[in-house]
Structure 1
Amino acid sequence: MAINTTPTDSTDKKLPEWRPQVFINFRGADLRDGFISHLRKALRENHIKYYIDSDEPRGSPIEILFDRIKESQIALVFFSSLYADSTWCLDELVEIMKNMEKGTLRVIPIFFKVTPEDVKGQKKEFGVALYGEGRRRRPRMPQWEDALEAIPTRMGLVLLENSSHQKFLAKVIKKVKEVEAILLSERRVGQGSSPTVSIQHLKASLPPYEQRLKQFEERFCFDTDITQIFAIVGMPGIGKTTLAKKHFDKWMGRVSVNKILLGIHERDEWSACLCKELLDDAQVSVNKSFIFLDDVSEKTHVHFLLNNLHRVKEGSKIVITTRDKSCIRGLIHHTYEVPVLNQNEALQLFQYHAFNNQDYTHTHNFINMSQKFVDYAGGNPRVLEELGKELCGKNEDDWGKILETLPHCCNENIKRGLRISYDKLTDQQKDAFLDIACFFRSEDEDHLTSLLASQDSHQVRDLADKFMISVSSDKIEMPDILCSFGKELGLSASLEDNLGTSRLWDHDKVIEALTTNEGKDSTVRGILLDVSKLQKEFSIRRDKLALMPNLRYLKIFDSSCPRQCKVVDVVECKVYVPDELEMPLTKIRYLHWLKFPSKQLPSDFNAENLIDLRLPYSKIERIWKDVKDTPNLKWVDLSHSTDLIDLSALCKAKSLERLNLEGCTELVDLPEDTENMKSLAFLNLRGCTSLSSLPEMENLTSLKTLILSGCSSFDDFQVKSENLEHLHLDGTEIKKLPQTIEKLQRLIVLNLKDCKMLVSLPNCLGKLKALEELLLSGCSRLRSFPVTKENMKKLQILLLDGTKFRDLPKNLLGCANSDQVNLQRSPLTSNGLSLLRRLCLSGNDMIVKLQSSLSDLYHLKWIDLKDCKKLVSISTLPPNLQCLDAHDCVALQTVASPLARLMPTEQVSSSFIFTNCGKLEHVAKNEITCYGLNKGRLLSETLNRHNKGLCFEALVATCFPGSEVPDWFGYKASGAMLEPELPRHWSESGFVGIALCAIVLFEEQKIQNNNLQVKCICDFNNVKTSSSYFHCPVGGLSETCNEQRTISSTHVFIGYTNWLNIKKCQEEDGKKGCVPTKASIKFQVTNDIGEVTNCEVLKCGFSLVYETGSWEANSRTYDVKQGEAESIVKNNKVSKIMIPNCGVTTIPEKNQISGEESCRSTKS
């Protein structure tokens, strides 16, 4: 059942009876035993009610979780790299997004070491988890994709790879408390104890300028004798003038002369006005002054001011406000951009104006709609105020009607304010603003700039300077309020507004324009039709497009499938065209027609101004019949047009930069004229299964990315551009690479995965000095790795799994045959692949020994040796290794001693997997456990010094075949439960963490999704304090791959951690004096769904870990009171065996033996 985590102590009585519930959605394998455990504790400490699925009865249907989602008011969604590998997570997400759309649930997305772009776009490792082999056709895939793409990233939090978990946890709690405060405020305002509430008394709520004022004043200094000019900038309505006035009122007493000029933009003779009202005043020239100039809109104003500063007393302060950054650029260096209100601030301001002094009742729907109005306002105080005033006193139906019109109809008062900024735009800027609002609200800056290009090539940046759009990471965005303002203007055809042109985006108006017989319409500049809005099919009149001579943009798309129909025929074509359709569109720049139904574009189509052509999933066989001039064409997307056979129409597209032909299965070749596309930088031919070769394309000097993945008929590759950076030949039939590949000195990625016919690699491969990724997975005929004199010094990823090397250099890996080469020529020496981070050798039956040259690779973090059936020995490993996976290395017997060099590192966790390594020798197991403990202690000490001991994963985890808990574990028990009584002062200085061990019996256990985790639930009880309850990780497997793992026999799982909760217990122990501690530790095996039932924890163990040579480590046994020692020894609670190098001890230092000897003397 659900865990009620709200504390029940006396403080609860002070809390409201009702509190929002937080539903936590996450992939258990990634987070359950780490960050989530600490999150749960932090939520409890902050009296935040939450729900998590861990204690639901095993086998419970997912519908129970759906009910819990409906009962919750806040959802924390943790997106991790393998999140999409869990169907339960995805199904929960769909339900969460449904409730969010209803307005009953607030969603806080947490991007845990993944980016929002990867999640929303299903890219990189996140996309691999979602679209693994055989998963793309799963019936719920469209729902999952829609849910992922609809994630509200604005409220999201992002944890970067090397960020502090502790600080991030604090941010999560802060965000939850902010949303909780909003919900509690809403409840007080709109719900109370019944479905309706009387709203009579609301505390006056104004925009919180105090913090913004403080931020501005940090840049302001009245005590200097230097004349300073400060600019406050921001979008219309953001509060620039209000902030400046507050600042003026606060500081005006510091000087004897104060001048304020409002509405500068409205003054025709600005220079004369400034002279008359300000500069001609004799007081200004002889006394320090404080001058405030409001709404400066032109650079000439600023120039005039600067040129007349000599008329102002030295040491005066001048503050100006402007909605245009360009007018101060390069002239005024002290600027402050006013930020938008946060969610809580915005809601309070909106509620103040929408509900103030009203004494009638409202239903709970008002609260849900309030949040939608706040989201629409985007944190703009003026918009919130005007919306609130408009809604004040209206009933629920009126609110609903206004809410429906928001996307395309702007409040009149808001419109008047925005109109000031719009009217000051040039004609080209007005066109650009309206085009963006109606058609290109979220686009790449380079793409949009090309589409809008005219005589003024800086329109996009100019609009950003005027806060009409925003540019972030080369992406153009427009606020909701400006978008609706622009769309409303865009529908009209007024010379006063926008040069007499209209932009059709409403589907009813589009259908009317394309089907009625109303003659020529020169006003239409663009058409946007979302076919998902159509109730029925319709056919375009033959001559309608011909009667729109000024049409620039035509987009027919399906918003219900934003990834453009990854599955063919998901949505049937709803727009039909006659065979004789006329399209003499001389001004067309952008043509996007999803599932274009004809075999080719009409013969009269004019492509002279065409910049972007997108016809994905179309029925075309060729683009157009005759060759046409396309001097401006930059982007072409014909992906998944399975009937396409001829591309000769593009032979004159000399400006083409990107060509996407993915999935064009009937395309046999490219035209010879392709080599004239000197601007082509990206060519995607993925899945063109009929393509057998490429024409001569040596002139493609701009080509940086060439994708031939899955071109199963392609068998002969020749270098086409010496500037290639990404070359994907995976899944092709090539037998070899040409010697000319050495010309690719800029190549970063070479992907040769699953090239089943590839038999050799050229020796010149080492000359690719920029190469970072070499992917050879699945090249089953590849039997030799080239030996070169050159070094691939930048190589970071080397995947050799599934290969059959016969003549690998001995010092590289060791192999079965006798042909070896000299150590100095090994590509893996410290002078070679010194930056290598990932090495995959799995499935190679030729490897016998992993050689010592690997130990020099300081940056190597991941080695995959799965299924290397002949591997017998592993040499010393790199010091920074995070994962060694030797699963199913059935012949493995020995490992190096030491397993790796110990040294302080930045990484947090390490995992050493030896599952199914049945021949692993006793000494090897001792070395693995001893090294793991030493490394765990070292990492713990480092974390204690630099990160206050906070870590959410096992510092070091390992697993290998075995049936006994090592002797050095101080506490042991049969079964899955351990209840040790710890000696007094066990957690004082010198204590760095704990070691945990579980012996698990498997009977041919198939690991679901290759995810299996051993964890324990710990409860530490101090006689004089309340219990400390938390989860501890022990170890396990977590991997995304197509082949399912199987574990057989009994295995030992050992984990070492410096768990923060132990530190908390240590602090409490020290405060309460000399008291014993009782612990309860329960071990269990889980996967990404829940507890695994068809395996059994046979034994378990627990030990305290101390710094080497600490007093506590050498005297822990004698810290037990008289009468307790006998009991502890009798019950085998404290180990009598000393392993100083492993840092586990309870006996005096005089009895210590060497670490190596002690490791060899233990049993496992």
Structure 2
Amino acid sequence: MVTQRPSSSTNSEDTEKRERDNSSCSEEDEKIISSSSPSSSTPRLTHDVFLSFYGEIISSSSPSSSTPRSKHDVFLSFYGEDTRRSFTDHLYFDLKRKGILVFRDDESLERGKCISQELPQAIQESQYAIVIFSANYASSKWCLRELAEIVEWEEKKNLTIIPIFYHVNPSDVRNQRGTFAEAFAAHEKDLKVDIKEIDTWRNACRKVGNVSGEHINGERYESVIREEISRSISTKLNSRFSHHDYKKLVAINSRVEDMMHLLAMESNDVRFLGIHGMGGVGKTTLAEIIYDRVSYQFEGSSFISHIRERSTTARDLASLQKELLHGIMQEEIPFWDDHQGIGMIMNKLQNKRVIIVLDDVDSEKQLTALAGNQKWFGPGSRVIITCRDSHLLRTHGVYGMYEVQLLQTDEALQLFSLSAFRKNNPPENYMDLSKHFVKYAQGLPLALKVLGSYLFGRTIDAWESARDQLEPIPNKHIMNILQISFEGLEESQQKLFLDVACFSQLDGWLKNDSEEALEIFGHYSNIEIEILINNSLVSKSKYESLVMHDLLKKMGQEIVRRECPIEPGKRSRLSHYRDVLGVLEKDTGTDAIEGIVLQDLPHMKKIRSLNAKAFSKMTKLRLLKISVPPIFSQIYPSPIIEWLGNPLKHMPSDKLRYFHWFNCPSKSWPSSFQPKNLIVLSMPGSRFKRIWKGLVVLHNLKLLDLSDSEDLIETPNLTGASNLEKIDLARCRSLCEVHPSIGVLKRLKHLSLNRCKCLRRLPAKFCLESLEILDLSGCTGLVNILDIQGDMTSLRIVYFSEPTKKDLPSSFMSFSGLRNLTLSGCKNISIFPSVICSLSSLESLHLYGWSRLQKFPDLSSLECLMHLKADGTALTQIPSVNLIPKSIRSFFLEGRKRMPCKPLPKRSSYLTYDIGTPVEYEMEGMLEVEALLINFGGTGKYSSNIIFADKVMIYAWSLGYGIPEWVHNRSNGSSLKIELDGTMKGVDCAIFIVCDYHQFHSPEGNLQLPKRERILDMKVLLDEK
């Protein structure tokens, strides 16, 4: 109901006068706020919650939140006389403690500007408006005009109104009853107030009164209600104001889930958690997302970023401590130094549930100053630390650590495309170039985003130019980020890093054993390699070899290049062929050079003549690898390199630890070349007839590789190399004599004499107690039987040929620990040797070229045998079930005649049944085999009444035979959907594959299929021809 306005009222004039006295604005200013309206276009949001009141202005400081957000978050409208010193003040500080930026006109208005000019803009730029309706709220025209402005903007933009009915009934607000009725009656008597404006106020009260809000009437604790309000707003703001565009984040969900599991928010323990990984991998991004997601659940929060670069002095640490406290307490806390800061943090936060993120930490002193231990913080607190050094996290007692992994190829392509094209996939005409840049970045998000952003909007020509420039000139911004970790290392650790970056392609132990790699590089300890691993600069593969990201390699090589950009001969390491060839051609080497790698040469039109004397000045040379085809190479019909002089004659040997030279041109071993520190001597394809004469002391030598040395007649005296672990003499076709010293090398683990066809005799004494692998296959000229003396229980793998004898030597019985036995070319053996059945540890047996073998013996005693393969035999039938051990998993038989299939052992949970003869087979009786691979060499057929229960059948044809006509489900693409008919009852999936046998099978010769897994729809990858 609208009340008619009286013609005049003295009381109303007095009221208006009092209100003008209490207001800080003129009557003209009130007109400004009442007439202001939102513009047609929404401005950029800078306020989220606005707080103003009617009455006395409170003076207070306004510290900024540590949360990187806009100027304000919340606008709060209330009547000061009712709630200023109680509920409103408490709510104000609750909101601030949550990191919410609250506008309050006493502290937020710019000096020199009238309140009425600022408040409309503050409302317009806010995200939330909290309206506290108290008993006298409606008595203030200022509050009502504020309310009308809020409602108008709520209708025009995304402003959320949260009403709080503070000891007033919501229906009184909606219907203007009680004190609200009295206040409106007073306003209607005021001749200076337009009746239309009063109607606007009434509508605003009606509308906001109908909004669901909080009713405070004494039934619940006000502190509980305030906490619920601040938590609700904090949650919504965190999701709304995260500066991350989640559409541009790739593979983030799984990482967030892993971190949330580590956080264990339900636990009341104080937990320190670490996020580690190489530079640019996304540690900070993940920490920011977690912080945005959970910070509202804590009493206080603070995100301290870029700690490494902001904490060079003690004063810097104190500044960071103040920032931490400021973000949580929302007030300035003075102290003089970092020692006082530690006490202040403990005093202020030990009873608070807080979340703190310490980003980019690189030293213990930073952690000691900012989060010394868990006792500093209240129950349920969480401290998240991002760091490149995982060891630093462990030593500081971090509860759980999460390593951010590099992106997979498909994820990397998506992230690159989002940066380069603003969509998930590149256009077709850019796909190949995009894949090139993705390969360059090796899954590193930083590199993907930097490269993608640089290429955005550029032509294909520009892309191709950028691609061509990346190899010689790595991206500077990416390199600078990665180099931060390098600069934090000590000198010896930096040298080790550069060795790995420049020489990771070295053959030998470096690819198999990180400890041996350290020994090759020289004077490094396991601690130093662990430091590199902890800093995500290198990693270990599952085979314990050292692995370095390609971009880190490029960074290391660039650091070496900067040692002397103009003169390569003055650098410590040479790994680019242009630099190496230039130094060796012009003889510009110096004692600065510690390592040289020359390989992967491009095709060259002319011969490069290299001066052997160039090595003489390289007195500090530790590592040398030259792997270049010689002039007469059939692979490179055009001449490549010729050497002027004997390189070994001029080679300094004192420091040399690694020497690999493929097709070394030297024909003699100079007596002056005595590399006493040598660990690897690898000279495959050498031109030696004999290496050294007499005794050469090489106590550190562990690998000797003279394979493919076709002129080598005899092996050298190895008495002075008692620590040898591997000798490779494979394919030395002229080798006829092995020095007796080989037979007594007690540390020798691997000996290969493969295809040494001229070798007639082995050492009379053969006592190699550490030998694990012995390869004598293809040694068709051997006349003496292997004479084993002493314990050889370490032997695990033997490759052996016996073309002349009708039985195997009895010495095989000494190989009690043998697990893998390959016997080839035993063409005179017609009866299976019983000595094999005594090898109780045997797991794999391969018989090749036993052309007279017609019948298998009883192998059931070989209880460990899993893989059996016999090809090139005269077998006419498959062994009976009772002759096959229960442990068998893969079965390959190839004979000359038709071999009917007999029932397979029912105990086998997985079996590869591979038959190489192209004849027709009967498959009945092969039940209870969970996964069966039947491999036909050609035009095999199967009977249609086969019944398998819960089985997977896979038929595979070798490349070139094609799929038989009776196979109806076909596809030339990358996938095949198979519909099973009624003739294959119980089969989950039957798949026919044309593939390359070696790519399709595992190294053990079988196909790895999941056990007990029902496959209803399978994608089949075909070999690309």
Q: Residue in 2 aligned with 1:750? A: 821
1:615 aligns with 2:644: no
Change (3 A) 1:238 1:575: same
Gap regions ≥5 residues in structure 2: 1-244, 322-337, 971-975, 997-1025
SS at match of 1:674: helix
SS at match of 2:678: coil
Change (3 A) 1:491 1:559: farther
SS at match of 1:549: coil
Give the Cα–Cα distance (whole angstroms) in 1 for the partners of residues 246 and 938 of structure 2.
64
Q: Residue in 2 aligned with 1:220? A: 263
Q: Residue in 2 aligned with 1:191? A: none
**Equivalent residue runs for 1:5-16 within 5 Å:** none
Give the Cα–Cα distance (whole angstroms) in 1 for the partners of residues 422 and 940 of structure 2.
70
* Aligned counterpart in structure 1 of residue 526 of structure 2, from 451, 457, 470: 457
Q: Deviations over 1:850-908 (max 9, x none)?
A: 66734885747647473358x9x987653357648596999x9xx9xx974x7533124
Displacement of 1:735 in angstroms is: 5.1
* Aligned counterpart in structure 1 of residue 698 of structure 2, from 630, 652, 671: 630
Displacement of 1:341 in angstroms is: 3.6
1:778 aligns with 2:849: yes
Q: Deviations over 1:945-976 (max 9, x none)?
A: xxxxxx56479x9xxxxxxxxxxxxxxxxxxx
Identity rate of aligned residues, in percent?
25
SS at match of 2:967: strand
Q: Residue in 2 aligned with 1:36? A: none
Q: Residue in 2 aligned with 1:329? A: 394
CA RMSD, 1 decimal: 4.6
SS at match of 2:361: coil
Q: Residue in 1 aligned with 2:1011? A: none
Q: Residue in 1 aligned with 2:450? A: 386
1:374 aligns with 2:438: yes
1:421 aligns with 2:485: yes
Displacement of 1:453 in angstroms is: 4.1
Change (3 A) 1:406 1:283: same
Relative contact order, higher structure (CA 8 A, sep 6+): 1
**Equivalent residue runs for 1:696-1095 within 5 Å:** 696-716=764-784, 717-719=786-788, 721-730=792-801, 732-734=803-805, 736-758=807-829, 764-780=835-851, 802-803=852-853, 827-828=858-859, 835=865, 838=868, 840=870, 844=874, 853-854=882-883, 857=886, 859=888, 862=891, 864=893, 866-867=895-896, 878-879=905-906, 883=913, 900=925, 904-908=928-932, 933=945, 936-939=946-949, 942-943=950-951, 951=952, 953=954, 1013-1017=964-968, 1056=984
The answer as to whether partners of 2:362 and 2:387 remain within 8 angstroms in 1 is: yes
* Aligned counterpart in structure 2 of residue 669 of structure 1, from 730, 734, 737: 737
Q: Deviations over 1:125-149 (max 9, x none)?
A: xxxxxxxxxxxxxxxxxxxxxxxxx
The residue identity in structure 2 corresponding to 1:288 is: R
**Mean alpha-carbon deviation: is it higher for 415-424 or for 335-344?**
335-344
SS at match of 1:449: helix
Change (3 A) 1:903 1:311: same
The answer as to whether partners of 2:917 and 2:936 remain within 8 angstroms in 1 is: no
Give the Cα–Cα distance (whole angstroms) in 2 for the partners of residues 291 and 523 of structure 1.
48
Q: Residue in 1 aligned with 2:204? A: none
Displacement of 1:256 in angstroms is: 2.2
**Equivalent residue runs for 1:310-325 within 5 Å:** 310-325=375-390
Displacement of 1:911 in angstroms is: 8.0
Change (3 A) 1:528 1:860: closer
The answer as to whether partners of 1:953 and 1:1057 remain within 8 angstroms in 2 is: no
Give the Cα–Cα distance (whole angstroms) in 1 for the partners of residues 430 and 953 of structure 2.
41
SS at match of 1:741: helix
Give the Cα–Cα distance (whole angstroms) in 2 for the partners of residues 221 and 850 of structure 1.
58
The residue identity in structure 2 corresponding to 1:531 is: L
Q: Deviations over 1:1018-1050 (max 9, x none)?
A: 79xxxxxxxxx977899xxxxxxxxxxxxxxxx
Give the Cα–Cα distance (whole angstroms) in 1 for the partners of residues 381 and 393 of structure 2.
19
SS at match of 2:301: strand
Q: Residue in 2 aligned with 1:1130? A: none
**Equivalent residue runs for 1:1139-1154 within 5 Å:** none
Q: Deviations over 1:338-397 (max 9, x none)?
A: 23344455445445555689xxxx998755433322221223222233334544576655
Displacement of 1:489 in angstroms is: 1.3
The answer as to whether partners of 1:778 and 1:803 remain within 8 angstroms in 2 is: no
Scaled by the length of structure 1, what TM-score is found?
0.54
1:506 aligns with 2:573: no
Q: Residue in 1 aligned with 2:715? A: 647
The answer as to whether partners of 1:647 and 1:670 remain within 8 angstroms in 2 is: yes
The residue identity in structure 1 corresponding to 2:821 is: L
Give the Cα–Cα distance (whole angstroms) in 1 for the partners of residues 306 and 270 of structure 2.
23
In the alignment of these two chains, the number of paired residues is 707
The answer as to whether partners of 2:679 and 2:703 remain within 8 angstroms in 1 is: yes
1:482 aligns with 2:552: yes
Larger radius of gyration: 2
Q: Residue in 1 aligned with 2:360? A: 295
The answer as to whether partners of 2:684 and 2:708 remain within 8 angstroms in 1 is: yes
Displacement of 1:760 in angstroms is: 7.1
Give the Cα–Cα distance (whole angstroms) in 1 for the partners of residues 806 and 656 of structure 2.
45
Displacement of 1:405 in angstroms is: 3.4
Give the Cα–Cα distance (whole angstroms) in 1 for the partners of residues 953 and 748 of structure 2.
47
The residue identity in structure 1 corresponding to 2:266 is: D
SS at match of 2:401: strand
* Aligned counterpart in structure 2 of residue 404 of structure 1, from 465, 468, 477: 468
Give the Cα–Cα distance (whole angstroms) in 2 for the partners of residues 916 and 289 of structure 1.
71
Q: Residue in 2 aligned with 1:695? A: 763
Give the Cα–Cα distance (whole angstroms) in 2 for the partners of residues 889 and 343 of structure 1.
44
Change (3 A) 1:211 1:354: same
The residue identity in structure 1 corresponding to 2:968 is: I
SS at match of 2:781: coil
* Aligned counterpart in structure 2 of residue 582 of structure 1, from 636, 650, 672: 650
Displacement of 1:757 in angstroms is: 4.6
Scaled by the length of structure 2, what TM-score is found?
0.61
Q: Deviations over 1:813-867 (max 9, x none)?
A: xxxxxxxxxxxxxx345x665856547598547x799667348857476474733
SS at match of 1:543: helix
Displacement of 1:1056 in angstroms is: 3.7
Give the Cα–Cα distance (whole angstroms) in 1 for the partners of residues 881 and 302 of structure 2.
78
Change (3 A) 1:288 1:1008: closer
Give the Cα–Cα distance (whole angstroms) in 1 for the partners of residues 455 and 993 of structure 2.
52
Give the Cα–Cα distance (whole angstroms) in 2 for the partners of residues 444 and 462 of structure 1.
20
Displacement of 1:1062 in angstroms is: 12
Q: Residue in 1 aligned with 2:273? A: 230
Change (3 A) 1:242 1:762: closer
SS at match of 1:490: helix
The answer as to whether partners of 1:539 and 1:578 remain within 8 angstroms in 2 is: no
**Equivalent residue runs for 1:428-467 within 5 Å:** 428-441=492-505, 443-446=511-514, 447-467=516-536
SS at match of 2:573: strand
SS at match of 1:243: helix
The residue identity in structure 2 corresponding to 1:283 is: K
The residue identity in structure 2 corresponding to 1:457 is: N
Q: Residue in 2 aligned with 1:988? A: none
Give the Cα–Cα distance (whole angstroms) in 2 for the partners of residues 1017 and 231 of structure 1.
56
Q: Deviations over 1:160-184 (max 9, x none)?
A: xxxxxxxxxxxxxxxxxxxxxxxxx
Gap regions ≥5 residues in structure 1: 1-201, 781-801, 813-826, 918-927, 944-950, 958-1006, 1020-1028, 1035-1053, 1064-1084, 1090-1164
Change (3 A) 1:726 1:308: closer
The answer as to whether partners of 2:832 and 2:853 remain within 8 angstroms in 1 is: no
Q: Residue in 2 aligned with 1:246? A: 289
